[in-house]
């Protein structure tokens, strides 16, 4: 409620106005039966007179009724329009808040949550909540006030008839509730039978032929349950129709005898019947409304639950290292890690590795060995299960993740992420405040300036959804330009050229080597041909560094690295 209140508070004035208009419209409903009754009385009185007298007499009450109808229409228009506005604003603000709450979550949250589920929260659930909210205010108010108001009119029209109604109605409502409870029991039974036999009507292993017979018996029981429920519902609907019409018939019967004794006019009886019908309709719409409100409340609860979710690794907050003392010395100390979605499956175990400042360290190893996981831990997308990772002696668990990802680490992956906007904006994403000149310089360094300027729109070329209007090599060089604009102290290259053909790879490789100069580089390589220029090569096997050294040292040792080289040369890569 307090969270929902934050969305509702700014709309309070409009909401109050809507409530006042809705109450006004509902109260007019109470007046309508009385006016109708008066009109009927006038009509009955003039029925045997001249047409001219009839028209003169009827005009005034008819116009009065018409005025009330018009006023009611106007008020209804007002409150529905206001409520639509309030509902849209509340839902819009909730959607925005939910979207930012989702963006705040750590990567592990998205591993464990299906995208479809989040889309449903953002669209269907908020929509459902909004509709129920509007309905609860408009219809709830209308039906509530109508019921109360009409009972007052009923009493004023005929206390005797109302007294009879007050005896009959509770008895009928009680009987309805009793039958409803009985039907719910039947429905639960039918559901249980369906659940028990729904997985398979014919058991998978029919021991000695019993399965088929058992299956048929199960299907038979389920059909019995459903049939009984169907019969119950049919009987309930038939009986409730009979009861409602019985009330109308009873009212006319008793009302007629009151008319005979001059205790009630025909108009009063007409008013009574109209008011009675309004009460019936209001009660019916309240019961339908309850179901809708329950659905809306659970949809709202699902949305608010996500809104209150606090990320395990907050996006912001923590220490930063001043630019002048940032060297880019990274150390993994006895790190162990399992993905939260697979806690029993260790990816890294006692993994230790040092990345000296301004040097390139390559991690190689078999596919699925955990190379990309090392990069994800360095970016704090996940937290190690044990051990620490330090940057210039500071544990990164205490550093501000936004600062770390935004200013310290540049990341170029196999599949660069481009946004469906201009090349200029895509590169500027690396440093939002960068000038045009800085963007051109970064593109030149990434060997992208030439092909960008060859496009008719130049830097204003729109790259299409996820960069579909560009080739793989072009996308990759834009990603490099973006990383260079950020000017990060640490650069992670995760198989950055593996998706490119030989020619594009050469161009991107050259750009990468220029980008790597003067930075600490973590080079993740599946194909060993991409690790030229690495100062140190670490071979990852079974979650830890199995061997480390220069290319020559490792070849001389004849271990795992030499074996990988031999295998890849044989494969022709």
Closest CB 526 distance from ligand ATP, rounded Å? 4
Report d(CA 374, CA 378) in Å as an integer.
Answer: 6
From 23-31, 134-142, 288-296, 365-373, span contacting ligand ATP (CB under 6 A): 365-373
Q: What is the DSSP string of 167-183?
A: HHHHHHHHHHHHHHHHH
Find the binder of ligand ATP among 380, 428, 526, 544 (CB under 6 A): 526
- Write out the two tokens for 382: 């996940």
Distance of CA 95 to the CA centre of its chain: 8
522, β-bridge pairs? 361, 492
Residues near 65 by beta carbon (within 8 Å), at least 6 away in sequence = 32, 35, 36, 39
From 55-63, 362-370, 393-401, 548-556, span contacting ligand ATP (CB under 6 A): 362-370
Output 37 or 369, the one with its CB closest to ligand ATP: 369
115 binds ligand ATP (CB under 6 A): no
Span interacting with ligand ATP, options 253-261, 284-292, 363-371, 419-427, rule CB under 6 A: 363-371
Establish if 367 lies at the interface with ligand ATP (CB under 6 A).
yes
What is the size of the binding site for ligand ATP (CB under 6 A)?
Answer: 13
Q: Tell the smallest beta-carbon distance from residue 484 to ligand ATP (Å).
A: 24
380 near ligand ATP (CB under 6 A)? no
CB of 338 to ligand ATP, least distance (A): 8
Nearer to ligand ATP, 360 or 372 (CB): 372
Q: Residue 271's closest CA among 38, 72, 68, 29?
A: 38
Task: Please say whether the beta carbons of 222 and 193 come within 8 A.
Answer: yes
Give one DSSP letter per residue of 524-560, joined into a string: E-SSGGGGTT-SEEEEEETTEEEEEE-HHHHHHHTSH
Q: Cβ 373 to ligand ATP, closest distance in Å?
A: 3
Is residue 530 at the binding interface for ligand ATP, with CB under 6 A as the rule? no
**Rounded CA separation 159/138 (Å):** 30
DSSP-assigned states of every residue in 20-65: HHHHHHHHHHHHHHHHHHHHHHHHHHHTTS-HHHHHHHHHHHHHHH
Residue closer to ligand ATP, measured from CB, 96 or 342? 342
Q: Which is nearer to ligand ATP, 208 or 368 (CB)?
A: 368
The kind and range of the H/E element at 288 are: helix 266-307
Part in contact with ligand ATP (CB under 6 A); list of ranges 129-137, 202-210, 368-376, 512-520 = 368-376
Q: Which two tokens stand for residue 512?
A: 């990468």
Site string (50-89) toward ligand ATP, x via CB under 6 A: ----------------------------------------
Q: Which stretch binds ligand ATP (CB under 6 A): 81-89, 185-193, 226-234, 371-379?
A: 371-379
Is residue 336 within a helix (H) or strand (E), and if so which, with residue range? Answer: strand 330-338
Of residues 111 and 553, the one with the C-beta less far from ligand ATP? 111
Q: At its nearest, how many Å lie between ligand ATP and the CB of residue 413?
A: 10
Q: Which parts of 322-351 interact with ligand ATP (CB under 6 A)?
A: 339, 341-342, 347
Q: Which listed range, 60-68, 124-132, 304-312, 367-375, lies at the site for ligand ATP (CB under 6 A)?
A: 367-375
Strand residues in 249-328 grouped as ranges (E): none
Letter string b/e over residues 187-214, b meaning 16 or more CB atoms within 10 A of that residue's CB: bebbeebeeebeeebeeeeeeeeebeeb
State which of residues 296, 370, 410, 488 lies at the interface with ligand ATP (CB under 6 A).
Answer: 370
In whole angstroms, how close is the CB of 329 to ligand ATP at the nearest point? 23
Q: State the minimum distance, in angstroms, from the CB of residue 347 to ligand ATP.
A: 4
- CA-CA distance, 257 to 433, in Å (whole number)? 87
Whichever of 176 and 366 has its CB closer to ligand ATP, that residue is 366
Binding site for ligand ATP (CB under 6 A): 111, 339, 341-342, 347, 367-373, 526
């Amino acid at each position: 409620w307090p969270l929902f209140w934050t969305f509702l508070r700014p709309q309070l004035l409009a909401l109050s106005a809507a409530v006042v208009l809705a109450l006004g419209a509902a109260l007019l409903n109470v007046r309508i039966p009385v006016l109708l009754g008066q009109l009927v009385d006038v009509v009955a009185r003039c029925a045997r007179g001249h047409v001219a007298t009839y028209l003169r007499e009827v005009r005034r009450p008819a116009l009065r009724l018409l005025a009330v109808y018009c006023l009611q229409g106007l008020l209804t228009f007002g409150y529905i329009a206001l409520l639509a506005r309030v509902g849209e604003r509340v839902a819009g603000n909730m959607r925005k808040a939910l979207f930012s709450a989702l963006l705040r979550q750590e990567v592990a949250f998205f591993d464990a949550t299906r995208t479809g589920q989040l889309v449903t929260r953002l669209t269907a659930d908020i929509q459902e909540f909004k509709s129920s909210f509007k309905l609860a205010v408009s219809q709830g108010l209308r039906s509530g006030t109508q019921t109360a108001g009409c009972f007052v009119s009923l009493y004023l029209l005929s206390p005797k008839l109302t007294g009879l109604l007050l005896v009959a109605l509770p008895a009928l409502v009680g009987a309805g509730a009793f039958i409803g409870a009985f039907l719910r029991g039947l429905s639960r039974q039918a559901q249980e039978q369906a659940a028990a036999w729904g997985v398979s009507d014919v058991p998978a292993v029919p021991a000695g032929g019993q399965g088929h017979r058992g299956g048929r018996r199960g299907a038979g029981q389920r059909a019995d349950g459903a049939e009984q429920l169907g019969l119950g519902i049919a009987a309930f609907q038939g009986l409730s129709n009979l009861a409602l019409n019985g009330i109308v018939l009873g009212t006319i019967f008793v009302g007629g005898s009151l008319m005979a004794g001059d205790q009630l006019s025909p108009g009063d009886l007409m008013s009574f019947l109209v008011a009675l019908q309004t009460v019936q309709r209001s009660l019916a719409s309240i019961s339908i409304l309850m179901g809708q409100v329950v659905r809306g409340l659970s949809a709202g609860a699902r949305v608010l639950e996500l809104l209150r979710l606090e990320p395990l690794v907050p996006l912001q907050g923590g220490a930063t290292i001043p630019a002048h003392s940032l060297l880019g010395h990274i150390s993994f100390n006895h790190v162990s890690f399992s993905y939260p979605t697979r806690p029993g499956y260790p990816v890294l175990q006692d993994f230790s590795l040092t990345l000296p400042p301004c040097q390139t360290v390559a991690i190689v190893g078999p596919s699925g060995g955990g190379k990309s996981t090392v990069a994800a831990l360095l970016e704090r997308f996940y937290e190690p299960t044990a051990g620490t990772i330090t940057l210039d002696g500071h544990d990164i668990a205490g550093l501000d993740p936004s600062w770390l990802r935004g200013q310290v680490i540049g990341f170029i992956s196999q599949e660069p992420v481009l946004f469906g906007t201009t090349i200029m904006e895509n590169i500027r994403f690396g440093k939002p405040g960068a000038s045009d000149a800085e963007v051109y310089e970064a593109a030149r360094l990434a060997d992208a300036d030439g092909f960008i300027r060859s496009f008719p729109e130049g830097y204003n070329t729109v790259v299409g959804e996820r960069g579909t209007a560009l080739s793989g090599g072009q996308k990759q060089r834009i990603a490099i330009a973006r990383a260079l604009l950020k000017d990060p102290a640490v650069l992670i290259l995760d198989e950055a050229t593996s998706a490119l053909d030989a020619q594009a790879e050469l161009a991107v490789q050259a750009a990468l080597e220029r980008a790597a100069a003067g930075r600490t580089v973590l080079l993740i390589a599946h194909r060993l041909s991409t690790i030229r220029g690495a100062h140190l090569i670490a071979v990852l096997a079974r979650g830890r560094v199995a061997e480390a050294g220069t290319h020559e040292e490792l070849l001389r040792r004849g271990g795992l690295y030499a074996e990988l080289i031999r295998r890849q040369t044989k494969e022709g890569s």
